[in-house]
A and B are shown apart, each in its own frame.
Chain A
Amino acid sequence: MMKGIVKRFPGVLANDHVDLFVEKGEIHAIVGENGAGKTTLMKQLYGLLKPDEGEIYINGKRVEFSGPADAIKNGIGMVHQHFMLVDNLTAYENVIIGMEPRKGILLDRKKARKEVKKLSEEYGLTIDVDMKIEDMPVGLQQRVEIIKTLYRGAEILILDEPTAVLTPQETEELFEVLRRLKKSGKTIIFISHKLNEVMEISDRITVMRQGRVTGNLITSQTTPQEIARLMVGREVVLTVEKKPKEAGETLLKIEDLWVKDNRKLDVVKGVSFEVKRGEIVGIAGVAGNGQSELVEAITGLRRAERGRVLFRGEDITGYDPKRLRDLGMFHVPEDRLKRGLIVDFPAYFNTILGRHMIEPFVKSGFLNMKEIKRFSKQLFEKFDIRPRNIELLAGSFSGGNQQKIIVAREMSFSPELLVVAQPTRGLDVGAIEFIHKTLVSMRDAGVGILLISMELDEIFSLSDRILVMYEGQIMGEVRPEKTTPEEVGLMMAGKRLEEIRR
């Protein structure tokens, strides 16, 4: 239990008299928008931050933590959003790090392996204890993190947005694990802003907004709409309103495209499709089925091995990103930190990335700072990017606002075609609603949009046509109103549309 927690950061009141009551043996979800103060609150519970005011009780006993070591002693474990694992060590080595069983002064590897193996089997956290972290998919890495906290004797587990990096299947498996942990008496605090997940897994919910608690709910007696309202402070439309619209001429045409990944393996195997003016074409699929490489090949970031990409009839295969932007193709990349932003640049430099070489931003080789800043301020206003300070480094914005910077930038140069990959990954409902609305309004204005997303809901609510990709091939094309999530799910698992509808 946390009572009256106050945490101030320079200029921000991150937690404003927050009370949190978690019962033993329950799964308690904490939901809220990006920057609502969820992570800050948990860091105080885990001893990473010291509250400015307020008290923490564990099992009725007042505690004060001067560091995570104290929290661990009190049976609290935390799985961070970004894993803290050593890549080139094996799973079991990572688990025992800092608490190694010893034989004299030597590490007792045998015992360590056995203990970790036992733990993993006990809770159904199946892993290969001898596999190196770098060889594991994120889902498994997360398991290692969970085992690590259990190994340290955690009774209360804090999971900070555990599903943000997982595929739907991995998420399902994680929930299985969580249920098993609950059954064995562990208490779980689950931070998320994905409402459907919270509804599925949690017993009770604490909703936070702008550093305050705005709701304490029992999951079985609430609705996603109510949670969303408490999170955002107003009614939120969870589904986007979209008028039917006749698509125009063909903008983008992909013909028998083949692409290799970094390991030189074919990952896109003969894909063909079209995107027309004024339509949103959604590509659904489990991550890693070639979508990323397909996008990179279309947007000039990766070489196509075979096939052609046509844009308004012009063969643009192999064009570089600058030329593509000149032609009117803009791109919201799936990895905003790796591709979309230069986090060490101030925001105003990021709002012109990709168009930094054209007038009026550059005049005879010199940057026109006045114009750049004017443009940037205008974008910040129009897209309500917060904090409203273009001088801040891009890295210091929250994930949602970083994404807004990218979306704002790519939309502001009157695109003809937008290639949008995972536009709402890790964003809260408010930001998702905003980005969805913006995409639909772009479509209504006649822009062609290619949307790649792992979120089936997103694909369904935005797309005019849905393509499903599996192992580098298109399994079928459907219209959202004439299909079901089950049918698309089957295609995502590798069944062709013809086989399903036969």
Chain B
Amino acid sequence: MNNRVWSFLVPFFSVIIALLIAAVVIILIGQNPVIAYKAMIEGAFGNIQALADTVIKTTPLILTGLAVGFGFRAGLFNIGAEGQMIMGGILATVVGMHMRGIPPLLAIPLTMIAGMLGGAVWASIAGYLKAKTGAHEVVSTIMLNWIATYISSYLITGPLAVGSGTPKSPEIAPSAKLPPIVTVGALEMTSGILISILSAVVIYIVLEKTKTGYEVKAVGFNPYAAEYGGINISKNIVMCMAISGALAGLAGALEVMGLHHRFLGTLSGGKGFDGISIALIGQNHPIGIIFASFLIAALRTGSSNMQFVGVPKHIVTIIQGIVIFLVAADRIVKTLLRFRKVKR
């Protein structure tokens, strides 16, 4: 069986196996897994509000997943999507606040670009350090995450602080807000999802159809051969980190522009790190990442509803963990599938 089929089959069966194992856990705590899963599905897709909530959660996950996934393809382990998302959110907020009187057609792209720039510059620091000194990007991006976290909390408790309660920045200008696709009660399903999906498509095209994609993958697979092939490795590293960071930065910008309309609390709340799991489940494939994000978002949205029928929502953490484990250890699933084939 070829790789393409595997990269679809493995995550798919991993989810099924994970659901089965989690079902056993649910039985062990004395509940009925059928009822629990039914509640979860209803909670994630049962009505338009639930669906809107799932889509809202999907939006940034696609982008952070892409950020990490794109890095992986280039042989870079960008753990810094979290910090890049924060920097993107901050820059988008600052620019968005100053968009009063500028028409949305200009204000929206400008704010988005600001967000992407924030993430890109932040990630390029790690890229530059790697290219120049060989400093490993895992270490430098983790450090940059903390710096970004503290910069943001300084800004929204200091110079940019407004109101009381959760630290937050002022609202961005109305013209910089993303128009919702549908509004259900207080919940606006943001059009950011379209931008996320579009980004995945663009990244797919870049990776598969362009010279840049060829070079990115060449460096990711074998930097020595890439160098021999006339590809500038240092330039490639910095560029890939910048693209990766721009995607994470865009995630931050969309959260600001479509959801909170301001920089709120920590903004990222671990979504940058979720990108790592999502990239893994989506097998670093842009389209796979869309589905993986949707899956994780649905699990999370549905988990609250599951809680109502008496099953703790932490079950979804178990499911997520098992999926990641199985995808990472893809041999297990492959062996299971092959074994079944042999028996048949």
Residues of A within 8 A of B (CB): 299, 301, 320-323, 325, 331, 333, 338-345, 349, 353-354, 356-357, 362, 365-367, 369
Whether B209 contacts A339 by the Cβ 8 Å rule is no
Q: Is the CB of A340 within 8 A of B230?
A: no
Question: Which residue of B214, B218, B231 has the most chain A CB atoms within 10 A of its CB atom?
Answer: B214
Across-interface contacts of A365 in B (CB, < 8 A): 210-212
Least CB distance from A29 to B in Å reads: 34
B229 within 8 A of A: yes
Contact B214 A340 (CB under 8 A): no
Stretch at the interface among B131-139, B189-197, B220-228, B249-257: B220-228
B-side interface residues, number (CB < 8 Å): 20
On chain A, the residues within 8 Å of B183 by CB distance are none
Are A356 and B225 interface neighbours, CB within 8 A?
A: no
- A356 CB contacts on chain B under 8 angstroms: 211, 214-215, 229
Known: A343-B222, A344-B221, A345-B221. A367 touches B210 (CB 8 A): yes
Which residue from chain A places its CB closest to the CB of B230 in the assembled complex?
Answer: A322
Task: Knowing A345-B217, A345-B221, say if A340 contacts B228 (CB, 8 Å).
Answer: yes
A-B CB contact pairs (8 Å), 25 listed:
A320-B230, A321-B228, A322-B230, A338-B224, A339-B225, A341-B225, A342-B218, A342-B221, A342-B222, A344-B222, A345-B217, A345-B218, A353-B218, A353-B228, A354-B230, A356-B211, A356-B215, A356-B229, A357-B230, A365-B211, A365-B212, A366-B211, A367-B210, A367-B213, A369-B209
B224 CB to closest chain A CB (Å) equals 5
Q: Which 9 A-B pairs have the closest CB atoms?
A: A322-B230, A353-B229, A321-B230, A354-B229, A344-B221, A339-B228, A362-B211, A342-B222, A342-B225
B215 to chain A, nearest CB (A): 8
Of B211, B222, B228, the contact of A357 (CB 8 Å cutoff) = B211
A342 to B218 alpha-carbon distance, docked (Å):
7
By beta carbon, the residue of chain B nearest A350 is B225
Check A342 against B226 for contact (C-beta < 8 Å). Answer: yes
Q: Does B232 contact A (CB under 8 A)?
A: yes
Which chain B residue shows the least CB distance to A325?
B230
Q: What is the CA–CA distance of A448 and B338 in the complex, to the nearest angstrom?
A: 53
Q: Which residues of B contact A320 (CB under 8 A)?
A: 230, 232
Tell me how far the C-beta of B231 lies from the nearest C-beta in chain A, rounded to whole angstroms. 8
B225 touches A367 (CB 8 A): no
Q: Are A367 and B209 in contact (CB under 8 A)?
A: yes
- Asked whether A349 lies within 8 Å of B214 as measured between CB atoms, the reply is yes
Residues in A neighbouring B211, C-beta threshold 8 A = 356-357, 362, 365-367
A373 to chain B, nearest CB (A): 14
CA distance A366 to B213 in the complex (A): 9
Whole-angstrom distance between the alpha carbons of A366 and B232 in the complex? 19
Q: Which A residues touch B225, using CB under 8 A? A: 338-342, 353
Q: A338-B225, A353-B218, A367-B209 are in contact. List 4 more A-B contacts (CB 8 A).
A: A321-B228, A345-B217, A353-B225, A356-B229
Contact A321 B209 (CB under 8 A): no
Min CB–CB distance A296 → chain B (angstroms): 9
Q: Choose among A321, A343, A362, A367 the residue that contacts B229 (Cβ–Cβ < 8 A).
A: A321
A341 to B221, CA, bound (A): 10
Interface centre among A299, A353, A365 (most CB of B within 10 A): A353
Checking B214, B221, B222, B231 against A367 with a beta-carbon cut-off of 8 angstroms, the contacting residue is B214
Q: Point out the residues of chain A lying under 8 angstroms from B224, CB to CB.
A: 338-339
- B129 to chain A: closest CB distance in Å? 21
Q: Taking A342-B221, A344-B222 as contacts, is the C-beta distance between A354 and B228 under 8 angstroms?
A: yes
Bound: A366/B212 CA distance, A: 8
Residue from A333, A356, A362 having most chain B Cβ neighbours under 10 A? A356
Task: Please give the distance in Å from B5's CB to the nearest CB on chain A.
Answer: 15
Instruction: Give complex CA distance A321, B224 in Å.
Output: 12
Residues of the A chain whose Cβ atoms lie less than 8 Å from the Cβ of B214: 349, 356, 367
Residues in chain B near residue A349, CB distance under 8 A: 214
Q: A345-B221, A366-B209 are in contact. Are A331 and B229 (CB under 8 A)?
A: no
Known A342-B218, A342-B221, A345-B218: A321·B210 in contact at CB below 8 Å: no
B-chain residues with CB within 8 Å of residue A325 when the two chains form the complex: 230
The residue among B213, B224, B226 with the most chain A CB atoms within 10 A of its own CB is: B224
Interface string of B312-331 (1 = CB under 8 A from A): 00000000000000000000
| Cα distance A322–B227 in the bound complex, in angstroms | 9
> Is A366 a contact partner of B230 (Cβ separation < 8 A)?
no
| Contact between chains at A366 and B228 (CB < 8 Å) | no
User: When the two chains form their complex, are residues B218 and A321 in contact, meaning their CB atoms are under 8 A apart?
Assistant: no
- Give the docked Cα–Cα distance between A333 and B228 (Å): 9
B78 to chain A, nearest CB (A): 20
- In the complex, chain A residues whose CB is within 8 Å of the CB of B226: 342
Docked CA distance A273–B212 (Å)? 38
Smallest distance from the beta carbon of B68 to chain A beta carbons, Å?
19
Which residues on the B side are within 8 Å of A354 (C-beta)?
228-230
Shortest C-beta distance, A330 to chain B (Å), equals 11
A344 surroundings in chain B (CB, below 8 A): 221-222
How far in angstroms is the closest Cβ of chain A from B60?
A: 29
Cβ of B230: which chain A residues have Cβ within 8 Å of it?
320-323, 325, 354, 357
Interface-centre pick from B212, B221, B222 (highest chain A CB count, 10 A): B222
Separation of A166 and B244 alpha carbons in the complex (Å): 44
Q: Please report the C-alpha to C-alpha distance between residue A331 and residue B228 in the assembled complex, in whole angstroms.
A: 9
Complex Cα distance A137/B221, Å?
27
Within 8 A of A (CB), among B279-337: none
A353 and B228 alpha carbons, distance in the complex (Å): 9
Nearest B residue (CB) for A300:
B230
Chain A nearest CB, measured from B204 CB (Å): 13
Residues of chain B within 8 A of A321, CB atoms compared: 227-230
Measured in the bound complex, the distance between the Cα atoms of B209 and A365 in whole Å is 9
User: Could you tell me which residues of chain B, from 182 to 211, have a CB within 8 Å of some CB in chain A?
Assistant: 209-211
Complex alpha-carbon distance, A366 and B211, angstroms: 6
Q: Which residues of A contact B221 (CB under 8 A)?
A: 342-345
* Cα–Cα distance between A299 and B218 once the two chains are bound (Å): 19
